[in-house]
Amino acid sequence: MRMKVTALKTFTGQAGLIRQGSRPDLDDDYVKELEREGLVSRHEVKPAPPVLTKAEQEAQAKAEQEAQAKAEQEAQAKAEKGKAAK
């Protein structure tokens, strides 16, 4: 049986050169051996999300606050428009 794995490191083996991050389809027994050696993972490895600096965090928080304030103003204007129409 064959399975798709994620290479955690670049290495050369039965399947030739396997580069880090590639997703080769390998034999089940060979995968077990490579897992023991820490070379592959059966689970897809995704890069970690970027870490925001303090300035970026503050800018993001300010943008969210401004968007929320704008949404509240629009909701209030819509409510006032509805009252005026009655």
Cα dihedral 72→77→82→85 (10° resolution): 180
Position 40 scores a pLDDT of 94
The two counts, helices (H) then strands (E), for the chain are 2, 6
- Tens digit of each residue's pLDDT (9 = 90 or more) over 11-69: 998 889 999 999 999 999 999 999 999 999 987 667 778 888 999 999 999 999 999 99
User: CA 21: distance to chain centroid?
Assistant: 15
Q: For the whole model, what pTM was predicted?
A: 0.50
Residue 86: which pLDDT band, with cuts at 50, 70 and 90? low
